[in-house]
Structure 1
Amino acid sequence: MKHPLPAVAVVGRPNVGKSTFFNRVLGERRAIVEDVPGVTRDRNFARAEWAGRHFYIIDTGGLETESEEPLAAAIRRQVMAAIEESDVIVFMVDGREGPQPMDHRIAEVLRRSGRPVVLAVNKLDRLPSELGHHDFWELGLGEPLPVSSISGRGSGEVLDAIIARLPEAPAAVEDDALYVAVVGRPNVGKSSFINRLLGEDRLVVSEIAGTTRDAVDTPMRYHGRTLVFVDTAGLRRRARIEPGLEYYSALRTERAIERADVSLLLLDATEPVHVQDLKIAERVWEAGCGLIIVANKWDLVPKTDKTAAAYESHLRERAPWLRWAPVIFTSALTGQRVHKTLDLVLEVAAERSRRIPTHEVNEVVQELVERQPPPHYRGQPIKIYYATQAETAPPTFVIFTNYPKAVPDHYARYLQNGFRERWGFVGAPLRLRFRGRKERR
């Protein structure tokens, strides 16, 4: 896959501090960091900047070149793919342990790749008194650079070395990326869905529920737009989230929804709609994110000509407020309708960004009020004076009235439904704010 920016992969044995360095570069806890080998399983993309240069940095799982464990083998394939995609490799080693046999085997892999390598000797927290990093010259990858990812000491020198090895800067940095969060309960097929979409084995896929622990960003181009898909750890009911890894993954998923423009809520079509599915949909709504409901594993559902309609009817009965969200039936296994979701993502993103002229808003409000006037409040009629669209993404309308706090929920829903009947806003949350006539917009 080609990146709009150069890519830098951080590779090394398990538990040498790759994710800590990744977070140090970004200045935030983007990857899960715990003192447990094998925590980072997938490649985690993020955009970084140093000395005016922008690039993608890729956090990878711990590389074990000879382990026959199935998950270790899957991670090994992912790391090799990250190496292939990258312009520069940061080879992270543990300065406290010194060169290990596994380090030598990884060094040989990196030499064969032909990529420029920055050798970072981590966990040297008392620079420059700890000079054990010189032992790593024996790896044959050039000068070892001492660094402490935890304290940040030496990070600047490593970043300088990265910048010196990057290819020539592109003419411009794209800023039109559309972020798409892929959310759902564990084991509904999120990673398989993105793998099918991209046509490559990008995310670790396992039959073990919860294999994807971190939110992992994957950019692609479609119809001239950059779409950045975020494959998230399966959201579990909060009471079931285990301390440590599961807790951090749930937080990461929440943040993924918060920064997304559109969310794909994957459901397991072979099962009834779960309460947790609806709670995830509510979180997407609260975040102001566009929503597309993806009924996955559709190939496993026995069908008649009414099966899809029956499933959608069941969903609407469970959650009538989701009438505005489009439903698409897919199979990540066979590829059925998977790529059609891309067109739907662009459609929902456009609906979420629509702006309605003020005169048209007021025409519709007047029609709705004439059809069904607002109720009274303490014996006085609630009057609606005028309205305007104050924001997009999500569409937000301000309605000025004499009793802004007295407008009942059922009447607000009536206005919302009227707006949707006229303008659609398919897949987009719709916000109404009631204000007094003298209040500022």
Structure 2
Amino acid sequence: MANIVAIVGRPNVGKSTFFNRLVEQRQAIMDDMPGVTRDRHYGYAEWTGKFFTVIDTGGYVTGSDDKFESQIRQQVELALDECTAVIFMVDCQSGLTGYDKEFAQIIRRSKKPVFIAANKADTPNKAAEASEFYELGMGEVFPISAENGSGSGELLDELIKVFPSEGVEDPDAGIPKIAILGRPNVGKSSFLNVLLGTERSIVTDEAGTTRDAIHSRYKMYGNDFILIDTAGIRKKSKVHQDVEFYSVLRSLRALEESDVCIVLVDALLVGQHNDVYILRF
């Protein structure tokens, strides 16, 4: 069994910030706006000589006005199925909520080792308040600050004890990367899902559904490849939101790190200015 930990929790508790700290890169987009992360996002981390895979997930919530709510929940549940252990992230500033209690029941059903990370414990007083999360009855609570890293060492010391092996430093090293690029809503995520035969990326009719660059292992003709689904690229003059700006930056980074690039176009709208703009990269 592989060393895989899923970081889960309700929206805006700091999952992506902690993910980026563990993998030591700004892979996942961070923003104060809830619901920025939608798909599962994978990275690799190391602690005291043990290597493991980290999965960042979207915020688990029910009854919200987020149109992607059900798809995000599905992605979270897939991460829970796949992982070896769970980091359940909660928020010391807002305290224990009904969503935390509801989601705790979902996590229990996974029957995986659970580590409660009480984030935003940036002061001794806030760290002391983390004790309220023992009410969840899920074992040790670790007050941490994903922002500055305090407390994360104690959490990781306990986490790596449940991993079955020393792990591999970077299982994707040396594997050819194929980036899938295109303008928004051209079908990149649908194309990826068809190739993989699974719902790897969330697909909707709304432009801008994919935000992060999503890496997936793909095997064909006996060879391994890394497929990278990306956010749709538009001209800078048409990008007005911070999240879209960072999404496009990650798409361009995927292009730089890839060995081959597939530019997807809409057969009904061939030759649009945006397609030409992308091809010029």
TM-score range, shorter-chain basis? over 0.9
Aligned to 1:231: 229
Q: What corresponds to 1:9 in structure 2?
A: 6
**Deviation, structure 1 residue 185:** 0.3
| Aligned-partner Cα distance in 2 for 1:172–1:237 | 37
Alpha-carbon RMSD across the aligned residues, in angstroms, is 1.9
CA distance in 1, matches of 2:140, 2:274: 52
- Give the match for residue 115 of structure 2: 118
Amino acid at match of 1:225: N
What is the identity percentage for the equivalent residue pairs of Structure 1 and Structure 2?
A: 44
1:280 corresponds to: 278
- What does 1:365-376 align with in structure 2 at a 5 Å threshold? none
Corresponding position of 1:101 = 98
How far residue 206 of structure 1 moved from its aligned partner, in angstroms, is 0.8
Give the aligned residue type for 2:278.
Answer: I
Of structures 1 and 2, the one with the larger relative CO (CA 8 A, separation 6+) is 2
State the shift of 1:214 in Å: 1.2
Judge conservation of contact 2:20–2:28 (CA < 8 Å) in 1: yes
Give 1:43 deviation, angstroms: 0.7
> Please, which runs of 5 or more residues in structure 2 have no aligned partner?
none
Residue deviations 1:318-363 (CA, integer Å, cap 9, x gap): xxxxxxxxxxxxxxxxxxxxxxxxxxxxxxxxxxxxxxxxxxxxxx
Partner of 1:221: 219
Contact 2:29 2:243 in 1 (8 A): yes
TM-score (norm 1): 0.61
| 1:129 Cα deviation from its structure 2 partner | 6.5
Amino acid at match of 1:103: D
Q: Which residue of 2 aligns with 1:210?
A: 208
Quick one: which of 187, 192, 195 aligns to 1:194? 192
Helix, strand or coil at the partner of 2:252: helix
Equivalence map 1:156-175=2 (5 Å): 156-170=153-167, 174=171, 175=173
Number of matched residues? 280
- What TM-score, normalized by structure 2, do the two folds share? 0.93
Deviation at 1:226, TM superposition (A): 3.0
Q: Provide the secondary structure at the position in 2 that maps to 1:35.
A: coil
> Which amino acid is 2:241 matched to?
P
Instruction: Quote the residue 1:78 is aligned against.
Output: 75
Measured after TM superposition, the shift of residue 173 of structure 1 is 5.8
- Residues in 2 aligned to 1:61 and 1:173: alpha-carbon distance in whole angstroms: 24
For 1:230 and 1:255, the matched residues in 2 are separated by 11
> Matched residues in 1 for 2:47 and 2:219: separation?
25
Distance 1:173 1:13 in 2: 29
> Contact (CA 8 Å) 2:50, 2:167: kept in 1 or not?
no
Mapping 1:239-258, distance limit 5 Å? 239-258=237-256
Change (3 A) 1:171 1:100: closer
Give the secondary structure class of the aligned counterpart of 2:70.
helix
Q: Closer, same or farther in 2 for the Cα pair 1:89/1:221, shift >3 Å?
A: farther
**Alignment check: 8 A CA contact 2:52 2:167 kept:** no
Alignment of 1:369-384 (within 5 A): none
Contact kept? 1:17, 1:149, Cα under 8 Å: yes
Tell me if structure 2 keeps the 8 A contact 1:127–1:153. Answer: no
* 8 Å Cα contact 1:26/1:48 also seen in 2: yes
